Amino acid sequence: MAAVAQGHQVHPDGRTWKNHFPKGDLWVFGYGSLIWKPPPHYDQRVPGYINGYVRRFWQPFKPDKDRKTLTCSQSTDHRGTPEKPGRVVTVIERTFWETLDDPLARLESEASTTGKVWGAAYHIPASHAEEVHGYLDEREIDGYSAHYTPFHPTVDIEGANSSSGSSPIICMLYVGQPTNPQFLRDPADREPQNVAQVISAGHGLSGKGSEYLFLLEKALEGLGLGTADVHVTDLVKRVKAIETEELAEAEEEEAELKVTRSLEGSAEEPGRENGRATIE
Active site (catalytic) residues: 140
33 DSSP assignment: G
> ∠ at Cα 175 (277, 156), nearest 5°?
70
- Whether the CB-CB separation of 140 and 29 falls below 8 Å is answered with no
Distance (Å, whole) CA 218 – CA 253 = 9
Indicate the residue type of 13.
D
- Whether the CB-CB separation of 59 and 183 falls below 8 Å is answered with yes
- Whether the CB-CB separation of 27 and 122 falls below 8 Å is answered with yes
CA distances from 112 to 116, 117, 124, 142, 156 (A): 9, 11, 31, 32, 23
